[in-house]
Amino acid sequence: MEERQTIWDPLRKKEVTLTPEERVRQWCIGVLSQRMEVPLHLMMSEVGFRLGGKKFRADILVYDRKAQPLMVVECKRPEVELTQEVLDQAIRYNMALNVKYLLITNGNRTFMFGRTVSGFACIDQVPVYDRM
């Protein structure tokens, strides 16, 4: 019997199975907290919500200081290409969460989008948390 590898998730505060997608999620949590200065207590992973009667689960949800959703993060395994379909998934989540930012990543490539009047546009300079 093969022993499953686990990794500590600082957001869920427990050991979780180390899948390729989980590895990307944990890497992204590190980037969000270290480079973007997002406080760990203002992030949650594997956040369930409903949209049109269906259940969905956001990989990472970042909250503002008033505990309102600010950014939804969609993590994919490294071999999954970041296509329009992946972005559309994050945009669908926004219909329920009403965030200002979307981030999609596969650990190799990462794209961040900011809400505009007509939808979302790619952001070249990723802001630190206090400027979001």
Q: How many domains does the chain have?
A: 1
Can you give the residue range of the structural domain that contains 41? 6-131
Q: Is the dihedral of CA 125, 128, 129, 131 positive or negative?
A: negative
The secondary element (H helix, E strand) that includes residue 116 is strand 110-116
Ranges of beta strands (E only) in the chain are 6-9, 14-17, 43-51, 54-63, 69-75, 101-105, 110-116, 119-122
Q: Are 40 and 33 in contact (CB under 8 A)?
A: yes
CATH code at 28?
Answer: 3.90.1570.30
Report the pLDDT value the prediction gives residue 2, as an integer from 0 to 100. 65
Instruction: Say if 1 falls within a structural domain.
Output: no
Q: What is the pTM of this model?
A: 0.92
Provide the residue-wise pLDDT of the chain in tens; the chain has 132 residues: 667 899 999 999 999 999 999 999 999 999 999 999 999 999 999 988 888 888 989 999 999 999 999 999 999 999 999 999 999 999 999 989 999 999 999 999 999 999 999 989 999 988 999 999
**Helix ranges restricted to H, 75-122:** 84-97
Report the pLDDT value the prediction gives residue 1, as an integer from 0 to 100. 60
